[in-house]
Structure 1
Amino acid sequence: MATDPLRLDEEEYRVVYENGYKTWSALMEEASDDPGLPPASLQVEHLFPEHPYFPVGLELDDSGLLTASSTWVPGTGSCDLSSFEQPFQILPYVATPTRLFMSTKAPVPPSAWFQQYDNHLTVLVLAWAYALSARWADIIPQASPLEYTDSQAEWVASQSYDKRTRPRINTSTSATPEEPIWGRDLRQFDRLLTLSCNAHGVKSILGSIFYEPGILCNASGPWLQGTLAVLQSRKAGDLDILARMFSLRSPHLSFLWLGAIIAGLHRGFLKSLGGLLGLNRIDLHEAAWTGTVLSFVQNPVPQQQERATSISRQDEFTLAFLTQGISRYGFPPIYPYPPPGSTTIDDLDLDVRLHTACPGGHGLKFSKITWIRPRPTSSSMTTVIPVDYTQLDPDRDISEISTRNIFMWMREMDGFPINEREIYQHEWFGDDDSDDDERNRPEGDVGSSMGCNLAVTVGGWVSGVMVARCNSL
C-alpha cells in the first residue's frame, strides 16, 4: 500500500497528539506548583523597545484609518534582492463613547490577582481609560477632547452615613506626585497606546502561544487536539493556573494575557480547535515589533549547497514571500504552519531559484515604518505524563485546512510540479475525474520534461519575460 503523502498514519497521529498534550501538561503542572505571576513579567516600562508609536499630529484619513508603509529587508546576504514594502492599517477609533457599568459582581472568580470585594479592577480600568484617552487626544488632532458630564449618573455627597464611623483623610502621603515608571519620556507610554489600538495585532500575538515551530501543516491537527485536551481540562479552568501557563509559554506576553483573561477573551481561543489555529491571524508587524514568533515565514532560509538538487518546501515558500515575485506572494499565508516535503531545484519558480544559493541566506527583518498622512510630511521534560485521549479524533483533523491553504497559496498560480502529482490528486484537494485534464497532464515523476510546449508571456522578470514551468500540472 502506497504511503499517503499528506495524511499521518495512526501511529504518527497519536505520537503528535501525545507531544502536544505533554508539552502543555508539563506547563500546567509547573503552573500548579506556583500559580503566581512573577512581578518581573508584568513590568512594562522597558517592554517592546522596537515598537513604533504614533507621532504627535498624525491625522486619520477620510475613512478613519491610520495608514503606514513598512519596509522589510529580506536578509543580509550579498545579492540583489531588494527591500519591499508592506501596508499597515488600523482603525483606531470608535464611533460612540464606551459606557462603563460597575457592579459588585466580579468578572472573574477570586484569584491571586483580585481578592473578593476589592475594587482594584474598577480603579485600574478607569485610570487607564482616562490616561490613554487624554494622550490620544494630544496625539490625534481630530480626536474629541475629554468631556466630563453627569448626564449618565450623578455623584452627590450623601449626609446619611454611620455616625460611628467618620471618614478619614490620609495625610501621610506626599503632596508631590510620583513620576510615571517610564519617567518624563512618553515614548514608552505611546508604544503601549499604539499597540492597544491594533486589535488584530494584539489578537495575533496572543494566539502565537498556540503555534509550535517545527510542527508541519499536515500535523497541526493532532498537535492542537492534544493542546486543547489540556486547556479544556478542569485544572486549566483555574484562571490563576491558566495565566501562569501562558506566562511560562511566552513570558514577554504575560501582561497582555493577564488582561485578556480578566476580560474573558481567553474563551474565544479555547472554545475550539479553530480558535487555537486561528483564521487570517498573522500580523508580521506586531510579530517583529514585539519579538514574537507566529509564522514559519519568520524563519531564516539558509544558503543551499551548490550541488543541492532540492530545497525544503518550507524554505521554498518563505523565499517566495521574501522575493515578492508574484502578487499573491505579497502577503504571508493565513495559517502559520509550513508545508511538508521538498521541491526539486528545477521545479522552483525562477524568482525563488535565483536566490537559493545566495551567500548568507535570507530572512525577514523589519527596517522602518513610514506613517502616511493626509498632508505631505517628512516622515525538555522527561517526566512520564499520562495522556488524556478524549480530544484525539482523526475524523476532526483540521490539518487538511492549513495544508490545502498553504499549497494553494504557492501553487495555484503556476500549477503543481509533476513530482507533486500525489499531493495534487490527494482527496484533501478535492476530486477531479476529468479525462481531458488527465490526458493533458505531462507524464513523469521528477525533474523537467523534455519536448513540452513552453508558454511565454509578457511579464516582469528581467527583460519582461515570464516563463511558465513546462513541467507543471
Structure 2
Amino acid sequence: MEEVCSRRTQSSRHQIDSAEENSEIARPTPPLFYLSIMNDGVSPSQPAFDQLLGESCKLWSSYRDAASTTPLLPSDCINLKSLLGRTPSFLGSGLLPDDVHVSLACREEQSTQGQQGLLTSGRSMWRTSRGTCILEHKAMTLDLLLGVPTPLAVQISDCAPLTEWPGIQGISGHDKGNYLTILFLAWAYILSARWAEVLTDSSELQCKTRFTTGVVSPRLGPNQQGDVEIDLGEHVEQDEASWWKAVLTSPGGWEVTADYNGRTFLSPWSVSISATIRIAVAGDLVVPAAQPPSSSQALQYLARFCSHNRLHGQCVTALAGALYIPFLSGKSVSLPVPQPAPRHQSREPVACFAQSHSDVVAEHGKLLTYYMTLSTNVWGMRSLLCSTFFNADIECNLVSAWLNPAFAVIDPLLREENVPVLAKVLANRQPKLGSLWLGAIFMGVAKSTLRDIRTGLTAVNLSMAAWTRTEQSFITSEPGASNGETIRREDECRLLFILGVDGYTRAPVHPWKPFGETRLSDAELSVRQHASCGCHCLEYISWNWTLTNGKELEDPGIDFISDDENNISIQKGEAHAPKQHNNELCSQSLSEISTRGIFGWLRSTGYTANEESIYKHPWIDIEGSDDEDVGDDGSDTSEHSAAPTKLILDWLK
C-alpha cells in the first residue's frame, strides 16, 4: 500500500446529500444525523450513530405499531399490478403484428448445481446526459430464465405459512376458507400455457403440452382424513372439470415443454405435487378425455372458480406466489392444506369494491406477460425484496444504525411466526411491494431473504429497479456538480460507472453510497473532465430483446403508473424502540460490510497515500486488524465501537 500512487484524497468533511437533489439547485443543509465528524476516517461519530439509530427506531416501531391496529392485511398486499411500472412484455409479446415473425436468441447454460437451463437475454438502455455534454447511451446486459430441467416440488402441509388466511381490509364476505394452494396450482398451469404460446410465436422452439385426461377419482368420504375435496359449482363443463382434475393431480397431471438442441426443457413455472395429500374434485367420478386448454380458456375456468367461492385476495396472493416458481426451480416448497369454506354456512353480505372476481382474474390475465418478465428475472425478484430496506440518504458507515432497528422489529416476528404482522410491517414500509412480500411469505422465500439482508447479503438489479420504478442503489441517483476542487465520492462512483471507465463497467453490488470527497486532481481523468457538467444521469429508456440474427427488438414497457407514487412509506409518530440486547442494536457489522464493499469497488485500482486512514482501518484491512480489539465474546472493544449512549439506553428501558 505504501507504493500506491497518490491520485485521490479524503476530505475532512463528511456529509450525505439527498439523492433527489438537482445539481443545479443549491443543496439544503442535511439533517443532523447525516453530519459526521470522522473519528478515524471510517467510523461515524457517536452522535451521528446515535441520532440515526434513534430516528430509525422510531420509524420501524411506527410500522410495527400501525400493523397492530387490525388483524387484517392492508389492500397494498394484493395490489400486484402496482409493481409493473415500465416492465417489458415477455419475449416482446404483443409488440409486433401477428403476421410479423422474429426469433429471439436463446442458449443453454449450466447452473452451479450442474443443471442445464435455457436462457434468453437482452439489454436495458440508459440515457447518460440531459445537457450539451453528450455521451453514448449505456447498455446493461441481462439474462432471463427461459426453460428449466426440473419442476418445483410442491408439498402440502398443515405447517406451511399462511395456513390461516388473515383477510384483507375493506373486503368482507370474501376469501373464506383457504384456497391458496389450489389457486397457485391453477396459476402455474396458466403461466406455463402462456409461456408455450409466446415461445411458439417468438422463437424456433417446438413446444408441447402433455395433459392427463380421463382421470378417475373416487368420491371422498366426509370423514376421510388427509384428503381434500373442492366444489367447482353447478353446471361445470366437462372440459373444465377435466382441467381442474389435471391441475390438482399428484403427481404429473400436466407438463409443458420445449425442445432445444435435442434437449427438453420445462416451463419455468412447472410444478410437481407430492402425493402426501390428495385434492379431489366433487362431482362426476369419471371425466372424459379433453385437450389441454389455452391460457385464455384456463383463465375463464379460474374466474368461474373464484366467482363461485367468492375469492379475491387469495387469487392475487397465489399469483404473486407463482411468480417465485422460477426463483425456486429445482427445489421444494411447502404450501398450506386447502380448507374449503363450509357450504352450509350462510354467506355474509359482500362488501362493494371496484371489480368483480371475473374482472380481477381477467385484468391479471391481460398483464400476465409483464408478470412473466419479472418472474424470469430471478435475481431481480430478490433485489425487489431487498429494496424495501434501501434508503438513498444513508452512507455506508451508518448502515448499521439504519438497519439494526428494522431487524429489532422483524426478528421477533420471525421467531413468533407472526405472519400477518410481518406482512403488514413490510407493506407499511414500501406499499408497492406489499403483494410481493405476501407472495414471498406464502412461498417460504421471505424468511431466508430477510436472513440474508440481516447479514449484509443484499441484491441489486438495476434493470428490475427501472422496470418497477423502485430505488435499489445510490448509483442511479443523479450526480451533483463538483465545486471545481473536490468531488463527492458518491458522485465519483456514479461518473466512473456512467462513463464506463476501465474496471468500472459493472455497477457496484453494494447499494450504499460512500462517504467523503476526493480532490479532482486525484480523480480519474475522465471524472475530472465531466465533474462540473451537472447534466449527467442514468435514466432508463427501454429494454431491447436480443434476436437470433444479432439485431434487437425494442420494448418500451407497459408504462404503468401506480396510484400511490410514493414508493416508500415514511410514518412519523411517538414510538418506543424495541427491547433488544444492546450489542445487537448497536452492532457495527452491517456498516463494516457495506463500507468494505463499496470502497472495494471504488478503489479497485488502489488507494492513494493520503487515504491511509481508510485502507488501514480494520473495516477495510481485515488481515491487518488488531486482534486485541476483539473481546473474548467476539464483540468489538475498540474505541470506535458504537456503545449505547444515555439517549439509546433511555429508549431501551
TM-score (norm 2): 0.58
CA–CA separation in structure 1 for the residues paired with 2:64 and 2:578: 13
CA–CA separation in structure 2 for the residues paired with 1:159 and 1:219: 60
CA–CA separation in structure 2 for the residues paired with 1:370 and 1:88: 10
The answer as to 2:500 corresponding to 1:324 is yes
CA contact (8 A) 2:87 2:468 kept: yes
Of 227, 234, 237, the match for 1:170: 234
CA contact (8 A) 2:161 2:441 kept: no
Match of residue 351 from structure 1: 526
3-state SS in 1 of match to 2:143:
strand
The answer as to 2:376 corresponding to 1:312 is no
CA contact (8 A) 1:110 1:116 kept: no
Of 538, 541, 550, the match for 1:364: 538
Match of residue 93 from structure 1: 147
Of 195, 205, 224, the match for 2:374: 195
Match of residue 110 from structure 1: 164
CA–CA separation in structure 2 for the residues paired with 1:384 and 1:70: 42
Of 59, 63, 66, the match for 1:27: 63
Percent of aligned positions with the same letter in both sequences? 28
CA–CA separation in structure 2 for the residues paired with 1:382 and 1:280: 29
3-state SS in 2 of match to 1:429:
coil
- Partner amino acid, structure 1, of 2:496: A
Q: What is the CA distance between 1:46 and its match in structure 2? A: 6.1
Of 263, 266, 270, the match for 2:450: 270
The alpha-carbon distance between structure 1 residues 331 and 49, as it changes in their structure 2 partners (threshold 3 A), is: same
CA contact (8 A) 1:59 1:140 kept: no
Matches within 5 A, 1:229-308: 229-234=408-413, 237-271=417-451, 274-276=452-454, 278-279=456-457, 281-305=459-483, 308=484
3-state SS in 1 of match to 2:540:
strand
- Partner amino acid, structure 1, of 2:468: T
3-state SS in 1 of match to 2:367:
helix
3-state SS in 1 of match to 2:139:
strand
- Partner amino acid, structure 2, of 1:338: K
CA contact (8 A) 1:210 1:277 kept: no
3-state SS in 1 of match to 2:61:
helix
Segment of structure 1 superposing worse, 191-200 or 47-56: 47-56
CA contact (8 A) 1:68 1:371 kept: yes
Match of residue 210 from structure 2: 147
Over aligned residue pairs, what C-alpha RMSD do you find?
Answer: 3.4
Deviation string 1:221-269 (CA, Å, 9 cap, x unpaired) is 2322222111112498421111111111111111111100111211113
Count matched residues.
419
- Partner amino acid, structure 1, of 2:462: L
The alpha-carbon distance between structure 1 residues 189 and 206, as it changes in their structure 2 partners (threshold 3 A), is: same
Match of residue 459 from structure 1: none
Of 102, 106, 120, the match for 1:60: 106
3-state SS in 2 of match to 1:325:
coil
The alpha-carbon distance between structure 1 residues 160 and 304, as it changes in their structure 2 partners (threshold 3 A), is: closer
CA–CA separation in structure 1 for the residues paired with 2:232 and 2:139: 60
The answer as to 2:603 corresponding to 1:411 is yes
Q: What is the CA distance between 1:73 and its match in structure 2? A: 1.1
CA–CA separation in structure 1 for the residues paired with 2:222 and 2:386: 49
The alpha-carbon distance between structure 1 residues 159 and 110, as it changes in their structure 2 partners (threshold 3 A), is: closer
CA–CA separation in structure 2 for the residues paired with 1:55 and 1:11: 52
Q: What is the CA distance between 1:282 and its match in structure 2? A: 0.8
CA–CA separation in structure 2 for the residues paired with 1:217 and 1:341: 11
CA–CA separation in structure 1 for the residues paired with 2:198 and 2:232: 39
CA–CA separation in structure 2 for the residues paired with 1:199 and 1:290: 14
The alpha-carbon distance between structure 1 residues 280 and 209, as it changes in their structure 2 partners (threshold 3 A), is: closer
CA contact (8 A) 2:61 2:575 kept: no
TM-score (norm 1): 0.78
The alpha-carbon distance between structure 1 residues 219 and 396, as it changes in their structure 2 partners (threshold 3 A), is: closer
Deviation string 1:314-342 (CA, Å, 9 cap, x unpaired) is 1111111111111x211111111111111
CA contact (8 A) 1:72 1:367 kept: yes
CA–CA separation in structure 2 for the residues paired with 1:159 and 1:388: 51
Q: What is the CA distance between 1:140 and its match in structure 2? A: 1.7
Q: What is the CA distance between 1:387 and its match in structure 2? A: 4.4
CA contact (8 A) 1:246 1:254 kept: yes
CA contact (8 A) 1:316 1:352 kept: yes
- Partner amino acid, structure 1, of 2:210: E
CA contact (8 A) 2:61 2:577 kept: no
Match of residue 613 from structure 2: 422
Deviation string 1:161-202 (CA, Å, 9 cap, x unpaired) is 79xxxx9953599x9957654869966210001111111101
CA–CA separation in structure 1 for the residues paired with 2:232 and 2:615: 77
The alpha-carbon distance between structure 1 residues 324 and 122, as it changes in their structure 2 partners (threshold 3 A), is: same
CA–CA separation in structure 2 for the residues paired with 1:143 and 1:385: 60
Of 404, 419, 426, the match for 1:225: 404
The answer as to 2:75 corresponding to 1:39 is yes
Of 197, 204, 209, the match for 2:383: 204
Segment of structure 1 superposing worse, 60-69 or 260-269: 60-69
Q: What is the CA distance between 1:286 and its match in structure 2? A: 0.3
CA contact (8 A) 1:222 1:397 kept: no
3-state SS in 2 of match to 1:244:
helix
More strand by share: 2
Deviation string 1:397-438 (CA, Å, 9 cap, x unpaired) is 23222212211211221x3234323212223232799xxxxx
CA–CA separation in structure 2 for the residues paired with 1:184 and 1:302: 42
Segment of structure 1 superposing worse, 130-139 or 310-319: 310-319
Flag structure 2 segments of 5+ consecutive residues without an equivalent.
Answer: 1-37, 94-102, 110-117, 169-173, 224-230, 241-296, 304-357, 554-570, 625-653
- Partner amino acid, structure 2, of 1:412: S
Match of residue 133 from structure 2: 79
Q: What is the CA distance between 1:104 and its match in structure 2? A: 5.2
Deviation string 1:99-132 (CA, Å, 9 cap, x unpaired) is 4344455533424149999341122111111110
Q: What is the CA distance between 1:145 and its match in structure 2? A: 2.6
CA–CA separation in structure 1 for the residues paired with 2:399 and 2:120: 35
CA contact (8 A) 1:133 1:146 kept: no
CA–CA separation in structure 1 for the residues paired with 2:359 and 2:194: 14
CA–CA separation in structure 1 for the residues paired with 2:590 and 2:423: 26
Of 391, 399, 402, the match for 2:594: 402
The alpha-carbon distance between structure 1 residues 275 and 155, as it changes in their structure 2 partners (threshold 3 A), is: farther
Deviation string 1:196-225 (CA, Å, 9 cap, x unpaired) is 111110100111111222111111123222
3-state SS in 2 of match to 1:95:
coil
3-state SS in 2 of match to 1:368:
strand
Match of residue 439 from structure 1: none
CA–CA separation in structure 2 for the residues paired with 1:349 and 1:288: 28
The answer as to 2:301 corresponding to 1:122 is no
Segment of structure 1 superposing worse, 111-120 or 185-194: 111-120
The alpha-carbon distance between structure 1 residues 28 and 186, as it changes in their structure 2 partners (threshold 3 A), is: closer
